Amino acid sequence: MAGPSGHVDPPRDSAVRPNPTVRLNNGVTIPQIGLGVFQVPAAEVQRVTEVALSVGYRHIDTAAAYNNEQGVGHAIRASGLPRDQLFVTSKLRNGDQGHQAACRAYTESCDRLRLDQLDLYLIHWLNPVADLYIQSWQALERIYLQNEVRSIGVSNFTGSHLRRLLERADVVPVVNQIELHPSFQQRSIVSTSQGLGIAVEAYSPLGQGQDLRLQPVTRIARSSGRTPAQVILRWHLQHGHIVIPKSRKPDRIAENISLVNDPLSEDDMRDLDGVQAGMRVGNDPATFGLSQIR
């Protein structure tokens, strides 16, 4: 567990787990389960990431705005894992949107992570007030076409913003990373993204912990011998979502990747699909954008 210095003990059960992959529209494969590090303090992120890598995670999702890329980079180097076995995502912060700023921001993220190249770089938010996401995308395309990044994608894009982007784009985003969990299923954006060949990456996949208490989740957990988190994450995998659950706790980090075998039944999937729509737990992409200024 985390102490005042950010120390995190390894989980009790440290068996390495298999991790399914998804093939993106450019042929690159991404581990379907990754560790999200939003709200993991900089002082703690190295230990948390090291724990995750030790139990089989090979995909880490960070962002310039999380102010913890450096610690993720330290953990990657400390792990000694070959670079080609890891999948590292970071994101362009709102204050860096625009063509030149985005090119510079990508280099700065690589420097903080101490990596020559990221596996995935995303536009973090639409930031519709600034309306710079098309120029930002063109910068990401340039970086991609120069082979400086393996894949590029977007986050928090609605169907109409995706279509507007594609009218101007040469490269189709490989993913749309959106808030997605049983009580906030965003079916229209999911189907638009998938219809355009864009994989759906679920952020806040546990509803920041709130969905763990949903009635069908706790019922299925009891009857199937899983934890509530494993029920929700398994539901995501069976829908083909890429998931990036966040935890600072070693046992939960291990728990969240121990779910690849033994699918949920069709009845259980139907019950989870039928969860009453709730509220988003994060920011609304239609209005969010003023924070994350450098």
Minimum CB separation from ligand NDP for residue 117, in Å? Answer: 20
Residue nearest to ligand NDP (CB): 36
For residue 152, what are the β-bridge partners?
121
Q: Which two tokens stand for residue 216?
A: 């069908």
The reply on whether position 196 binds ligand NDP by CB under 6 A is: no
To the nearest 10°, the Cα dihedral for 50, 55, 58, 62?
-50
User: How far lies 176's CA from each of 63, 156, 157, 203, in Å?
Assistant: 15, 7, 7, 10
Find the part of the chain contacting ligand NDP (CB under 6 A) among 74-82, 159-167, 208-216, 258-266.
208-216
Find the part of the chain contacting ligand NDP (CB under 6 A) among 97-105, 133-141, 144-152, 204-212.
204-212
The reply on whether position 157 binds ligand NDP by CB under 6 A is: no
Strand 29-31 relative to strand 21-23: parallel, antiparallel, unpaired? antiparallel
HSE-up (13 A, CA, CB side) for residue 225: 3
Of the candidates 120, 149, 244, 259, which one interacts with ligand NDP according to CB under 6 A?
A: 244
Size of the chain, expressed as the number of residues it contains:
294
Q: Which C-beta is closer to ligand NDP: that of 44 or that of 271?
A: 44
Q: Taking CB under 6 A as the rule, which mask of x and - marks residues 110-139 in contact with ligand NDP?
A: --------------x---------------
φ/ψ (deg, to 5) at 198: -105, 120
Q: How far apart are the first and last CA of the chain?
A: 32
Catalytic hit among 66, 121, 133, 144:
66
The answer to whether residue 66 is catalytic is yes
Binding to ligand NDP, residues 70-99 (CB under 6 A): none
φ/ψ (deg, to 5) at 136: -65, -40
The reply on whether position 246 binds ligand NDP by CB under 6 A is: yes
Vertex 116 angle, CA 42 and 243, to 5°? 55
The reply on whether position 254 binds ligand NDP by CB under 6 A is: no
Minimum CB separation from ligand NDP for residue 40, in Å? Answer: 7
Q: Which C-beta is closer to ligand NDP: that of 33 or that of 171?
A: 33
Minimum CB separation from ligand NDP for residue 180, in Å? Answer: 10
Strand 199-203 relative to strand 175-179: parallel, antiparallel, unpaired? parallel
Identity of the residue numbered 242: I
- Distance from C-alpha of 109 to C-alpha of 292, rounded to nearest angstrom: 15
Q: Which C-beta is closer to ligand NDP: that of 36 or that of 267?
A: 36
The reply on whether position 250 binds ligand NDP by CB under 6 A is: no
Where does this chain bind ligand NDP (CB under 6 A)? 36-38, 61, 124, 155-156, 177, 203-209, 212, 227, 229, 244-249, 252, 255-256, 282
